[in-house]
C-alpha cells in the first residue's frame, strides 16, 4: 500500500482503525489537499481554473482527483453551472471549514520550523 487514504479508508470502513487521528490524516494527506483546503478557506469560492492557476505545478488530472476525493470526504462542495463553456465552483463545506484550524497550525508550524531543515538558500 502506498498512500494513506485508501488504506486508512479501508480500515475505517472495516472498523479496524487504530485511532481517530488516522481519519483526519487520511483526509488531509494528499500532495495538494491541505493547500487546496487552505485556498478555499481563505479565498472562499474558487473555480477549477482558478485553483489551477494558484497551483501551477499540479497537473490537470491530479487536481481533478484531489478535489474529487475531498468532495467524497465531504470537505469540499462542488457547484456546476449549466453554461458553455462549463463553469464549476468549489467551496468548503462546514466539515471542510472545521479543518481550517488544523491547516493553519500546520502552516505556522512549518513556517516556524523550516529553518531546522535543509533548504536551498535561494528563497
User: Residue 88 — φ and ψ, nearest 5°?
Assistant: -130, 130
Distance between the two ends of the chain, CA-based, in angstroms? 35
| Distance of closest approach, residue 50 Cβ to a second copy, in angstroms | 16
**Residue 18's binding partner, choosing from a second copy, DNA, none, with beta-carbon cut-off 5 to 8 A by kind?**
a second copy
Report the C-alpha dihedral over residues 91, 49, 104, 71, rounded to 10 degrees.
Answer: 40
Q: Which of 60, 82, 85, 123 binds a second copy (CB under 8 A)?
A: 123
d(C-alpha 31, C-alpha 28), whole Å: 9
Under the binding rule (CB under 7 A), the answer on residue 72 touching DNA is no
- What is the per-residue binding string for DNA in 18-37, x denoting contact by CB under 7 A? -----------xxxx-----
Residue 55 in contact with residue 33, Cβ under 8 Å?
Answer: no
Sites of contact with DNA (CB under 7 A): 1-7, 29-32, 47-50, 52, 57-62, 64-68, 78, 80, 85-88
Amino acid at each position: 500500500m502506498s498512500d494513506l487514504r485508501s488504506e486508512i479508508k479501508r480500515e475505517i470502513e472495516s472498523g479496524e482503525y487504530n485511532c481517530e487521528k488516522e481519519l483526519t490524516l487520511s483526509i488531509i494527506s494528499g500532495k495538494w489537499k491541505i493547500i487546496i483546503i487552505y485556498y478555499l478557506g481563505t479565498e472562499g469560492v474558487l473555480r477549477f481554473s482558478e485553483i489551477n492557476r494558484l497551483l501551477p505545478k499540479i497537473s490537470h488530472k491530479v487536481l481533478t482527483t484531489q478535489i474529487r476525493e475531498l468532495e467524497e470526504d465531504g470537505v469540499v462542495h462542488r457547484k456546476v453551472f449549466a453554461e458553455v463553456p462549463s463553469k464549476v465552483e468549489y467551496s468548503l463545506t462546514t466539515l471542510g471549514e472545521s479543518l481550517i484550524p488544523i491547516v493553519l497550525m500546520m502552516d505556522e508550524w512549518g513556517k516556524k520550523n523550516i529553518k531546522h531543515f535543509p533548504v536551498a538558500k535561494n528563497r
